[in-house]
């Protein structure tokens, strides 16, 4: 069965530190999609990135970068030079691409990691 694990429940850093949020997933599907969402205190989940299982290239967007490694079933998220505005709950999620998979057509979320960035 599909599963997403975010082992870090809470992380606390000081502004300008780099921080990595871990995500490990399990799926039997050979084609799948991975996502990261940010949930600030306002409550709305904000989409950050989607990656399909055939694209293992790392991606960088400003201070954000993502490291996808199929060999370890991980999709980690790094924030460089963190800022107070990065404080939020971050969710990793998985969606399977083939009908019949229990995560087909829907997202399976991890538990989330609460990131607090102190000034």
Question: By CB under 8 A, which span of 17-25, 47-55, 57-65, 77-85 interacts with another protein?
Answer: 47-55
56-95 binders of another protein (CB under 8 A): 91, 95
- Under the criterion CB under 8 A, does residue 97 sit at the interface with another protein? yes
What tokens were used for 10?
Answer: 């809470």
- Under the criterion CB under 8 A, does residue 52 sit at the interface with another protein? yes
SS3 71: helix
CA distance 4 to 36: 11
CA distance 94 to 115: 21
CA distance 80 to 65: 8
Q: How far is the CB of 66 from another protein (least distance, A)?
A: 14
- Under the criterion CB under 8 A, does residue 25 sit at the interface with another protein? no
What tokens were used for 14?
Answer: 């000081």
What tokens were used for 64?
Answer: 């954000």
Q: How far is the CB of 100 from another protein (least distance, A)?
A: 12
List interacting residues with another protein (CB under 8 A).
31, 33, 35, 37, 42-47, 50, 52, 91, 95, 97, 99, 104-107, 109-112
């Amino acid at each position: 069965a599909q599963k997403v694990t975010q082992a870090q429940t809470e992380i606390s850093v000081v502004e300008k530190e780099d921080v990595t949020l871990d995500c490990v997933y399990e799926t039997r599907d050979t084609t799948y999609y991975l996502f990261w969402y940010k949930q600030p205190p306002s409550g709305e989940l904000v989409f950050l990135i989607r990656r399909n299982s055939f694209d293992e290239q790392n991606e960088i967007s400003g201070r954000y970068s993502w490291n996808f490694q199929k060999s370890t079933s991980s999709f980690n998220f790094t924030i460089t030079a963190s800022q107070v505005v990065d404080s939020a709950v971050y969710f990793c999620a998985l969606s399977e691409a083939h009908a019949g998979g229990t995560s087909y057509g829907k997202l399976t979320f991890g538990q989330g990691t609460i990131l607090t960035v102190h000034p």
